[in-house]
Amino acid sequence: MSINQASRELRDALRGAVKIGDLLVDEESGEILEWGDVSGDKFEHLTLQAIKAQANIAGWEQSLGILKRALGWMLSQADQRSIRTPYGTPRWASRIDRVAMPERVPLVVRDYELPREIEGLIWMTARALDPKKLTELEAIGTLPEGICKALIEDKPRGPWVQIDAPREQPPEIQR
């Protein structure tokens, strides 16, 4: 095998690889291609790195929220909607979301004297029913028993990796 071909095969093998600290990881599969200088338990090492990254995200998100509130306060004080800076333009933004209110459907059907076919068409535009509200209606007897079982389906999602931070042991209470 030539050096060029070996080099090409190595580049192809590492195409999806990313380096995080000492680790070389296949970004798509998560396979550890190179551990670097990791001593001790590898699960502990990866968990610690993930917890550090997670804490940093939370810290940066909190900082971002506070800084945006401070920028909003400054915009208000300056009586400005936006101010251009070399780093970007902080501005007040708003939007109006169009929301169809399901609880209004029966009133509209009654007020406009709509036939069942039209009411059915309106309900067909709904993306999803609210399982919690349906369950409540069945529990109080508004809906016949078994309706929820017929309407609601539990759809598994995942799996995904979630890290639960260690909990400190509570102090022992002695009496």
Percent of the chain at pLDDT above 70?
92
CA distance 88 to 82: 10
What does the pLDDT read at residue 105?
92
Q: Contact 118/124 with Cβ under 8 angstroms?
A: no
Q: pLDDT per residue over 96-137, tens digit each?
A: 988 888 889 999 999 999 999 999 899 888 888 889 988 998
Higher pLDDT, 9 or 108: 108
What does the pLDDT read at residue 107?
93
**Residue-by-residue DSSP string for 26-78:** ETTT--EEE--S--S-HHHHHHHHHHHHHHHHHHHHHHHHHHHHHHHHHHHHT
Q: Average of pLDDT values for 143-153?
A: 89
What does the pLDDT read at residue 168?
79
CA distance 5 to 8: 5
**8-state DSSP, 88:** B
What does the pLDDT read at residue 5?
59
CA distance 143 to 130: 14
Q: pLDDT per residue over 22-54, tens digit each?
A: 899 998 899 999 998 888 999 999 999 999 999
For the chain, the structural domain boundaries read: 3-77, 102-151
pLDDT tops 80 at residue 76: yes
Return the number of other C-beta atoms located less than 10 Å from residue 14's C-beta: 14
What does the pLDDT read at residue 47?
93
What does the pLDDT read at residue 63?
92
Q: Average of pLDDT values for 79-97?
A: 93
